[in-house]
Structure 1
Amino acid sequence: MHAIVTRTAAASEQTAANARQVIYRTQGRRQDWFTRLASPSGIGEKIKPFVFLDNFDVGSSGMPLSGMHPHSGIATVTVIISGNMNYRDTTGKSGTLSPGSVEWMNAGGGVWHGGGAAEGDRVRGFQLWIALPPEDENGPAHSQYLAPEQVQTHGPARVILGRYGNAASAVTTRASINYLHIRLKNGQRWRYQPPAGHTVGWVALYAGKLHTAGTVLQNELAVFEESTAALDFLAEGDTEFVLGSAIKHPHDLVLGYYSVHTDGYALERGEAEIERIRELVPRTA
């Protein structure tokens, strides 16, 4: 009996050793109502096209709308975990996102948007920035707001961007990107096989603990070594997290204050467009 246990333990250790390893992990930096997990000047350079990630937790400000700010050269993706969030953007759209809803804002050559918790509410979720390819970084801004029932699922995964199993996102992207929202029950195992060419991979936990590659993750961002190998997970407690995988963005990240472009000329064009549409921004900005 002892020999069987030893072989089993050795096999488990060997499996962990052969797994795709975690090469970076962080609990981020808490800043008022959000935790900054990734930024373009830091780990975002390593996991591009994913260049920025916040885990936010914000209460109502008592204002109908707050925080209007500009972007260019990127798309922002907001996933609402709990609470209700009001939004408005300078493409002319406004409304309220409920739990499970998704905001896709393709800033293109320039846009302003903002929002906040609905009156008397508290909203929690993730906001992600994705670097756009040269064909889109100075193109027209456009946005999509998906209700929970518009987000397709396969197994434990809600498909925010890309495709997984027989589920696909309603959002179309030129780049090959998967962004999934996962919920696992205590003790549940899940394997993610990235699509061909998706060498970038990471997870960010919202709740519970996640066992993978011989490590235990909790309330943190973890980046995996570049590979197309599968990722294996085991949930400890009811676990909720987001996962990103993609073909790596091959371009430089040229940074403005709220903008990310592939070169200085594209950044100049984006910042000029932001200034042009400033007059359209509501007075609450």
Structure 2
Amino acid sequence: MNLTDRVAVITGGAGGIGAALARRFAAEGAAALVLADLDGDAAAEVAEAVGPLAHGVALDVTDEAQVRALVADTERRYGRIDVFCANAGVATGGGVEVDNAGWERAWQVNVLSHVYAARAVLPAMLARGGGYLLHTCSAAGMLTAVGDAPYSVTKHAAVGFAEWLSVTYRDQGVRVSALCPQGVDTPMLADGLAAGHLGARVIAASGPVLSPDEVAAAAVAGMAEERFLILPHPEVADYARRRAEDPDGWQSGLRKLVRRLRQSPAEPPPPAATP
């Protein structure tokens, strides 16, 4: 998809990958950008920095009525939605001990928010015979998020849902991509490192930590080629092959990494990446 003159909605648009997508879409010539976030004021600040084509709104992606209202308002204002980026996500930093409320929130934000968005935007996209769904799913959805059971499980579900959408609707003109980065210099990773969460330490030790702008550039390149899997960290494809070909060996390697990290003191968060 060429983003010139496109209308896009981006959830989780107040920072991190969402804000970077907004900046990149604007640079690509988008016609209008709606940045939605639970923190509406922060989304508005990002929109102001992006320029007059963008505006920020408050949105709880776990509330389907709010998602439907946002889609309807955007379609009334601009006539259509060409791209919907379901980008909001949450991590827990915990395992089976995470309480039911934590599991439910991960399920609501990381999976059901994608379902709500698809339900809301698909009718008009199918009627027009075109549209694009970009789902931020994480490499955790292809591999595993060591140290964060709810994140790992829900990101696998997010990839599965995106694949189902692609298989079901591509022949009707709707393209779907699953954006699956590994380590990204966002508050989610920084907070996890500061708290000493094992999962964040594994991510930081497993490869380069990209800036959000690098991830956004990879997303735009992948969308231009209409690829289903967009991997800002190309090595994730190799990891996935190794995992599929030798699951026992793959798990053994991860356990060795975990043992090494547990035997060493947690390091401070890395410096912020330069965009």
TM-score, L = length of structure 1? 0.28
> Would you tell me which structure has more helix in proportion to its own residues?
2
With a CA cutoff of 8 Å and minimum separation of 6, indicate the structure with the bigger relative contact order.
Answer: 1
> Would you tell me which structure has more strand in proportion to its own residues?
1
